Amino acid sequence: MPASDEALLATGIAKTYGATCALRDARLALRRGRVHALLGENGAGKSTLVKILVGAVTPDSGRLELGGVPAAFGSVTQAIRAGIVPIHQHLSLFPELSVHENLSAFALSGGGGLWAGRRLVDPSRARGWLAEVGLEVDLAAPLGTLSLGERQLVEVARALSLDCRVLVLDEPTAALNAGEADRLFAVVRRLCANGTAALFISHRFDEIEALADDVTVLRDGRTVIDAAPIGRHSRETLTHAMLGAGVEAGPERLCARAEPVLAGRGFAGRGDTDITVHAGEIVGLAGLIGSGALALAAWLAGAQAGAGELSVAGHGFTPGDRRRAAALGIAYVPADRHVEGLFAPLSARRNVSISALGRFARLGWLRTSEEAERIDPLLRRLKLHPSRPEAEAATFSGGNQQKLLIARCLALPGLKAMVLLEPTRGVDVAARGVIHDAIREAAASGVAVLVATSDLDELMVLAHRYLVVRDNRLAAELPQDAPRAALLSALSGSIAA
């Protein structure tokens, strides 16, 4: 790589945590003006490498160069000051503060006590950053009132306030709809046109092919594909490089529709939102952010109050009564595992068994040996890595944390239906395959499954039929063999129901 093109170079990077070797001779070479995709399954070392690049972790060995000059960062603040700006999958914003205050966070971090308010950036500059990401919101609005997608764009806008030499994007589109993702990609391209290098971490091949110029693949802590131009390797080759496996096959066709299990009528007080999921069926619920698809799914699981009627296996329950829904056999995975799903300080085992604690308790005492006997085989079946059921959930990677939520569903006594919101958001190819297999196995055993996701690839490898939501109503139903173009048309509203 010519020195004039070099933005960031990491060579010979190694990092060990106790007996676990996270990185062993990893290499990453970023060039100015180019978007570089980083691929690898959970446990491949991506997260550790990114933490080293942004100053959150110190490597055991190896060398970093920024613009051809040796660099070492003792903190994230040092890396940011040097021009390496991270945009994390899990937002580093402050929901209670205003949009303006969040955009001023880097200025406010300098302190000032009672005078900190004077450090707020000029409102016109703040509006300019928002305009660059295509966002029009009130600067005085509390950040928590914005949608998840809008908050992601605010974080990207904040990065524009810095002299950004390397932009690190960790699953940045996980909460964005197609339009918001397109705006983000346009911003990244403009930054690269001005000389910025971008590191893009995503599990979605369509995004990688649309945005990235180069790709590096990590496997078992090593670089196995090094800065290859996009297009040189097929999806199958990249997948094999990550985990030695092929691309996931689509769902088997249902021979016949069984009895209805999960039913809802009158969501949001409307008559065009009736939905039924049958035993052994996987229904894909698709909708852009703001369409109401996720809200409809949460309502069906009893996790959201509102008008309408709900039932499972003929037993009615009240919308918003999640406890009653679980007692009737409806398992639920929320869209945001960190806010609504995980109990981070508890063990992996306890995060799973919490849906069935009554089975392991007697006279107020928890029988931990029976808990382990019942739950640990389930964790092995879902390939929890590392295989440490007693470890805190917070210590596991995102994909393995998501496996805990799926395992919790499978452990629910009297399981009849599963309602899964974005079940593989931010999950690598290997974990995605394990989760999909678990969903298919549950359906094969007679469980009714509803999967609400913005990932069309996921829908098309899982669902037996598709329901499309627009404006809080069911706008279309498509069969299993519907082409991708028809599904996209239904989502955008260019075809009638």
% of residues, the chain, pLDDT over 90: 53
Backbone phi, psi, residue 49, to 5°: -60, -45
CA dist., res. 484 & res. 456, Å (int): 8
249, part of any domain? no
Considering the domain architecture, whether residues 75 and 212 belong to the same structural domain is answered as yes
**Which residue, chain included where needed, has tokens 């966070």?**
105
HEC readout, 395-413: HCCHHHHHHHHHHHHHHCC
Considering the domain architecture, whether residues 239 and 268 belong to the same structural domain is answered as no
253, part of any domain? no
464, part of any domain? yes
Backbone phi, psi, residue 459, to 5°: -55, -45
Of 187, 216, 243, which marks where a domain is finished?
A: 243
User: In this predicted model, what pLDDT tens digit does every residue of 421-439 receive, in sequence order?
Assistant: 999 887 877 888 999 999 9
363, part of any domain? yes
8 Å CB contact between 304 and 319: yes
252, part of any domain? no
Q: Write the Ramachandran bin of 364: left for phi over 0, alpha for psi from -120 to 50, otherwise beta.
A: left
304, part of any domain? yes
Considering the domain architecture, whether residues 134 and 283 belong to the same structural domain is answered as no
Angle (CA) 168 289 382, round 5°: 70
Residue 12 is predicted with a pLDDT of 95
For 69, the enclosing helix (H) or strand (E) is: strand 69-71
Q: For the chain, what is the domain count?
A: 2
Q: Tell me how crowded residue 345 is: count the other CB atoms within 10 A of its CB.
A: 10
Using only C-alpha atoms, the chain has a radius of gyration, in whole angstroms, of 23
Considering the domain architecture, whether residues 199 and 269 belong to the same structural domain is answered as no
| 314 class by beta-carbon count within 10 Å (0-12 exposed, 13-18 middle, 19+ buried) | exposed
Residue 22 is predicted with a pLDDT of 87
Q: Tell me how crowded residue 288 is: count the other CB atoms within 10 A of its CB.
A: 20
Residue 87 is predicted with a pLDDT of 85
For 265, the enclosing helix (H) or strand (E) is: strand 260-265
Considering the domain architecture, whether residues 238 and 264 belong to the same structural domain is answered as no
* Longest Cα separation, the chain: 71
Give the three-class secondary structure for 495. Answer: coil
Considering the domain architecture, whether residues 387 and 305 belong to the same structural domain is answered as yes
250, part of any domain? no
Task: Look up residue 120 and give its DSSP letter.
Answer: S
HEC readout, 20-68: EEEEEEEEEEEECCCEEEEECCCCCCHHHHHHHHCCCCCCCEEEEEECC
Q: Write the CA distances from 330 to 187, 189, 313, 317, 347, integer angstroms.
A: 42, 44, 10, 11, 23
Considering the domain architecture, whether residues 238 and 265 belong to the same structural domain is answered as no
Residue 362 is predicted with a pLDDT of 77
470 - beta bridge partners?
Answer: 473
**Range of the structural domain that residue 369 is part of:** 260-492
Considering the domain architecture, whether residues 23 and 140 belong to the same structural domain is answered as yes
Percent helix, percent strand, percent coil in the chain, to nearest 5: 40, 25, 35
123, part of any domain? yes
DSSP structure string for 412-448? STT--EEEEESTTTT--HHHHHHHHHHHHHHHHTT-E
Residue 176 is predicted with a pLDDT of 72
Domain holding 413: CATH number? 3.40.50.300
Alpha helices in 244-305 (DSSP H): 293-300
Q: For the chain, which ranges sit under pLDDT 50?
A: 3, 110-117, 495-497
Smallest Cα–Cα separation from 405: which of 339, 473, 328, 313?
339
Give the three-class secondary structure for 1. Answer: coil
72 - beta bridge partners?
Answer: none
Considering the domain architecture, whether residues 283 and 238 belong to the same structural domain is answered as no
8 Å CB contact between 25 and 189: no
- Whether residue 386 is preceded by a cis peptide bond, meaning omega within 30 degrees of 0, is yes
Considering the domain architecture, whether residues 427 and 486 belong to the same structural domain is answered as yes
CA dist., res. 443 & res. 56, Å (int): 42
Considering the domain architecture, whether residues 215 and 336 belong to the same structural domain is answered as no
Considering the domain architecture, whether residues 363 and 468 belong to the same structural domain is answered as yes
CA dist., res. 68 & res. 2, Å (int): 10
